[in-house]
Structure 1
Amino acid sequence: MMPFNNLGFVFKHFGSIIYSKPILDDLCLFLHGFTDKESVLDIGAGTGVMSEFAYRCNDKLRYVAVDPAEGMLKYAPPYLETYIGEAEALPFEDDSFDAVFMGESLHHFHDIDAAFLEVVRVLKNGGRLFIYDFDKGTFLGKSIYMMEKLFGEPANFYEPSVLKEILEGYGFTVKINKHKWRYTVSASL
């Protein structure tokens, strides 16, 4: 397993470089229409990189982050409420959030089914989900998958069409945007 608890400094200063402009445009589009009364949960937030980008798009929301590595969360921006926890057992009440983010975190979850059941549980009726990850069906995506496996990570990487089917099984309406070896998912319940 990768020692994420000790990698906060590295991710804080270098993690943002893999967020390309099309990914950020998708994120801003996803946030369009949200108001200052709504809250967003960033699951597997690490240092809060995705929330930082989202905050630039809409600074009126309540941003909440959860990650199992306290060493990552200590580098989160001050406007981000942080909680230690895992995607498979979120420390929040039912119907707590208007939206959920997963920025390069899905592939680290140990139990995908439990994680998605938790997402559905904490999302309000009509809630939305935004995922950014690497496409296992591409050369670079397969390379990252192999490297993650080498480090002992779960490496739950999906081709976009497969992830779309999985999410539809949980009741989401799903839109996928492909960006070469990466993709974003914008889904709603």
Structure 2
Amino acid sequence: MIPFNHLGWFFKYLGPVAYPKGAIEALCDFLRPVAANAPLLDLGSGTGVLSEFAYSCRKDFAFVALDPAEGMLKFSPEYVRTHTARAEALPFEASSFEVVLIGEALHHFQSPERAMAEIVRVLRRGGRLFIYEFDPSTFMGRSLCIAEKLLGEPGHFFAPEVLKEMLEKHGFFVSVNRYGWRYTIHAELN
């Protein structure tokens, strides 16, 4: 297993470089129609890199970050309320969030299906889900998947079409944007 609890400093400073400019712009577009002061959950947040990108787009959200590694969360921005927990058992009431963000974390979830059920539970009807991931159908994505599995990680990497289908089964309307070996999912809960 990757010792995330001891690597917060590393991900805080090097994590942002993994995001292509187009994906950050897509996040800003994705957040534009969301109401002011909406509760936003950064799931598998690590050091809060995706929250920081969202904050650069809109500062008027109620930011919440959740990650199982306290050592990552201690590097979260001060405007983010943090929780130590797993995506498969979210410590929030039903319909608590207007937006859920997942950046480079879905492949670390122990049970992506269980996590999706939890996301649906805590997301309000009409709520929005943004996912940034690596595409295992590309050479670079496949290489990352192999490397993570060798390091003992779950390595649940999904091709964009497969993840789109999974989300649609959970009641989402989904669109995909590609950035070479990376992609974003923009989904809205029906």
Q: TM-score range by the shorter chain?
A: over 0.9
> How does the TM-score come out when normalised to structure 1?
0.99
Which residue number in structure 2 is paired with residue 139 of structure 1?
139
Equivalents in 2 of 1:100, 1:125: separation in Å? 12
Equivalents in 1 of 2:31, 2:21: separation in Å? 15
What aligned pairs does 1:34-183 form with structure 2 within 5 A after superposition? 34-183=34-183
Equivalents in 2 of 1:9, 1:37: separation in Å? 29
Which residue number in structure 2 is paired with residue 29 of structure 1?
29
Partners of 2:52 and 2:77 within 8 A in 1: yes
Deviation at 1:20, TM superposition (A): 1.0
How many residue pairs get aligned? The number is 189
Listed one character per residue, the Cα deviations across residues 134-176 of structure 1 (whole Å, up to 9, x for unaligned) are 0000000000000000100000001101111010000100000
Q: Counterpart amino acid of 1:57?
A: C
> How does the TM-score come out when normalised to structure 2?
0.98
Deviation at 1:91, TM superposition (A): 0.7
Q: Counterpart amino acid of 1:165?
A: E
Deviation at 1:35, TM superposition (A): 2.6
Partners of 2:68 and 2:84 within 8 A in 1: yes
Equivalents in 1 of 2:156, 2:32: separation in Å? 29
RMSD of the alignment, in Å?
0.6
Equivalents in 1 of 2:174, 2:18: separation in Å? 23
Equivalents in 1 of 2:94, 2:148: separation in Å? 32
Deviation at 1:113, TM superposition (A): 1.1
Q: Counterpart amino acid of 1:177?
A: N
Equivalents in 2 of 1:41, 1:163: separation in Å? 20
Deviation at 1:43, TM superposition (A): 0.5
Write out the 4+ residue segments of structure 1 that deviate beyond 2 Å after TM superposition.
none
Deviation at 1:36, TM superposition (A): 2.2
Q: Counterpart amino acid of 2:68?
A: P
Question: What stretches of structure 1 of length at least 5 have no aligned partner?
Answer: none
Equivalents in 1 of 2:55, 2:34: separation in Å? 12
Deviation at 1:64, TM superposition (A): 0.3
